[in-house]
Amino acid sequence: MIVIPLGPVGASHYRPMFVHAFGLLVIAFSIVGLRSRVFRDECSLDYETVRPMTWITAPLVHDNLALFLLNVMFFWLLGLVLESRFGFGKFAGSVFVVALSHALTSQVFFFWMEAKDVPLQGNMNGLTALNFALIVVALIYAYDRKLSFLLHLIFYWKRFSISIMTIAGVYLAAVAVVLGSTGGPFDLIHFTGFLVGLLFAVFLTMSGIVPEQGVNLIERVFEKKFVAHEVELNPKSEAEVQAELAQQEQVEWDEALPNLIRMASEGQFAELHQWMSVLLANNRYAKWDSELLRKLIQSYTKQQQWAEANRYLHIFKTDFPDQMTVPLRLSWTHVLLELGRPRSAIRILKSLEGVAIQRDQKSIVTKLAERALEQVKAGILEPGDDS
């Protein structure tokens, strides 16, 4: 039977890279340390002597094969989840700060024990304390994440997932068994990694260093955002932002236009103009479409709202002069006569000279011309020039 870890379930913000590099470093140091006690002692944190370099090297070496395999496996599984949330730099910094903090805390504790005349002999090493600290950080920032595994048993393959907290529970139980059978009383100092991890997680929450994406158990429990996050993963260039905005506006206009044409046909003028005014103010692609104007002119004419029909006929003539068909000009002439503007109506009719007109349209032109002349003879004065 073979169980192969595949990685975190769901979307990951970053590709885990540091966890692989650090894991290989631990493997290299530990293999040498397991074969050479001199090397292992040089890298381990001594109970009685201050050697600053060992504050960094102590987590890299192990003196127990079972604990070494267990620690490396769990660090790798936990690191896959945390680095996918934190990113390379922030996860690497977290590992360094936590390891250094625990080493300094342990060194102070050993000095205090020595001051109390407690006999000390030996040293401390391994990833155990660091893993304990990262468990707390994972509880705060990734407690809802799962890891995917592939189970291979002869011809049987099955994919399944386990929550990171379940894996942490298995790790704690296994560490307790190993330390209980082979460890000494001072190995309990590893468990202070939980406190270091909690203090570090609180620091991360208060400082806002970790990106806002994802959960934060501290903020969820207190129902409060401690820092207004402004961190954006994979920030986009100004050109990319503008391109996305333009695409969104184009889609918005393409979806709105058929509805606007329908509203114009149904005479829903108030709703149409309210929606159109918003679009014209906020969407670069919004404009008076020729079909929209035709429907609007027809509806206003049908409802005998001559002033509004005349207004949008002017807009149509300005924006689409090559689409001023004979029926549209005749309709405009009719609107102008209803508004009492016979001279403007006559100018529209004169624009039809030399234009191919159908037989049924000629009778309409004659009637409109006669009506315009009657209004002129009646002395109707126009309020302005609509040419």
Rounded to whole angstroms, the Cα distance separating 251 from 257 reads 10
Please write the tens of the pLDDT for every residue from 174-209.
888 887 777 666 677 888 888 998 999 888 888 877
Give me the percent of the chain exceeding a pLDDT of 70: 88
- Nearest Cα neighbor of 86 from 220, 216, 225, 218 is 216
Domain that residue 102 falls in? 2-222
Which residue would you say has higher pLDDT here, 349 or 225? 349
Which residue would you say has higher pLDDT here, 386 or 255? 255
Residue 354: CB atoms within 10 A of its CB come to: 6
Q: Residues near 144 by Cβ (< 8 Å), separated by ≥ 6?
A: 163, 215
Rounded to whole angstroms, the Cα distance separating 354 from 352 reads 6
pLDDT class of 22 with cuts at 50, 70, 90 = very high
Q: Domain boundary residue among 222, 254, 286? A: 222
| DSSP designation for 9 | S
Q: Same domain for 199 and 293?
A: no
Task: Tell me, yes or no, whether 365 lies in a domain.
Answer: yes
Lowest mean pLDDT among 193-197, 227-231, 276-280: 227-231
Which residue would you say has higher pLDDT here, 282 or 374? 374
Examine the pLDDT at 358 and tell me if it is beyond 90: no
Q: Same domain for 62 and 208?
A: yes
Rounded to whole angstroms, the Cα distance separating 35 from 68 reads 13
Asked if 78 and 131 touch (Cβ cutoff 8 Å), the reply is yes
Q: Same domain for 197 and 292?
A: no
The per-residue pLDDT of the chain, averaged, comes to: 84
pLDDT class of 213 with cuts at 50, 70, 90 = low
- As for how many domains the chain has, the answer is 3
Please write the tens of the pLDDT for every residue from 107-158.
888 777 777 776 666 678 889 989 999 999 988 888 777 887 777 776 667 7
Q: Same domain for 135 and 217?
A: yes
Q: Domain boundary residue among 161, 188, 222? A: 222
Task: Tell me, yes or no, whether 233 lies in a domain.
Answer: no
Task: Tell me, yes or no, whether 275 lies in a domain.
Answer: yes
Q: Same domain for 297 and 330?
A: no
Q: Same domain for 296 and 331?
A: no
pLDDT class of 387 with cuts at 50, 70, 90 = very low
Please write the tens of the pLDDT for every residue from 63-77.
889 889 999 999 998
pLDDT at 212: 56
pLDDT at 294: 93
Asked if 376 and 336 touch (Cβ cutoff 8 Å), the reply is no
pLDDT at 96: 93
Rounded to whole angstroms, the Cα distance separating 33 from 23 reads 15
pLDDT class of 228 with cuts at 50, 70, 90 = low
Q: Domain boundary residue among 222, 251, 276? A: 222
Task: Tell me, yes or no, whether 307 lies in a domain.
Answer: no
Asked if 112 and 94 touch (Cβ cutoff 8 Å), the reply is no
Region 242-259 average pLDDT:
87
Task: Tell me, yes or no, whether 317 lies in a domain.
Answer: no
Task: Tell me, yes or no, whether 318 lies in a domain.
Answer: no
Task: Tell me, yes or no, whether 232 lies in a domain.
Answer: no
Q: Same domain for 343 and 266?
A: no
Rounded to whole angstroms, the Cα distance separating 88 from 14 reads 8
* Side-by-side strand order, sheet with 2-8: 2-8, 146-153, 156-163
Please write the tens of the pLDDT for every residue from 308-356.
999 999 999 999 999 999 999 999 999 998 988 999 989 998 988 888 8
pLDDT at 85: 82
Start-end of H helices in 142-289 = 164-182, 193-207, 217-222, 238-265, 269-282
CATH number at residue 121: 1.20.1540.10
pLDDT at 377: 86
Task: Tell me, yes or no, whether 230 lies in a domain.
Answer: no
Q: Same domain for 245 and 375?
A: no
Q: Same domain for 329 and 295?
A: no
Q: Same domain for 290 and 343?
A: no
Indicate the pTM of the whole model: 0.56
Examine the pLDDT at 227 and tell me if it is beyond 50: yes
| Bridge partners of residue 163, in order along the sequence | 146
Could you give the dihedral angle defined by the CA atoms of residues 97, 188, 131 and 124, in that order, rounded to the nearest 10 degrees?
60
Q: Same domain for 193 and 269?
A: no
Q: Residues near 102 by Cβ (< 8 Å), separated by ≥ 6?
A: 129, 130, 133, 192, 193, 196
Q: Same domain for 190 and 254?
A: no
Type of residue numbered 81: V
